[in-house]
Amino acid sequence: MTLFSELEQDRKGRIVAHVDRRWGQLHGMEKDWGDKAYKFLLLTNSGGAIATLSFLGAFGKALNIFPAKLALFAFVAGVIFTGVGLACAYHRFARLYRSYRGDANRFFKDELTWETVLAEDEKRSRGPNRLSTTIAYGCFGLFILGCLSGGYAVFVAAGNP
């Protein structure tokens, strides 16, 4: 196995181009699946809220059933927190862009070395954003809570007038 520093210059160029393509591909997949996850959370929680509101409207006694109210609360909270999660993701990526753009401009003005630009970008980009991940899983948890509460309200509490 040959180390990168031991490779010929043309081979290094081909490897760097391959790494760049692969990183771009992986970044695109991460972005696409993140978009799909937020769309799923928004659609499922919105659909759950609509279904619960329909149930409450069609079955007047359901207004006195706590699990039905809990289901509605969970679905609406899921919609709200999906928006919060999207806002957090937007601000994270906007901050990464602004910081990188600033560092690149400082590099072009000879205020930073290229190694410093890369190191700072690596520090900023490292690892998943725990807040966004927590919010996303929280939204999914709210959807599950809404489903369980709504199911209980429909099949158990509503069946006992």
What's the pLDDT tens digit per position in 30-80?
A: 889 889 999 999 999 999 999 999 988 888 787 888 999 999 999 999 999
Residues 6+ apart with CB under 8 A from 81: 135, 138, 139, 142
What's the pLDDT tens digit per position in 129-156?
A: 788 889 999 999 999 999 999 999 988 7
CA distances from 49 to 2, 20, 93, 94, 128 (A): 58, 43, 30, 31, 30
Q: pTM of this prediction? A: 0.79
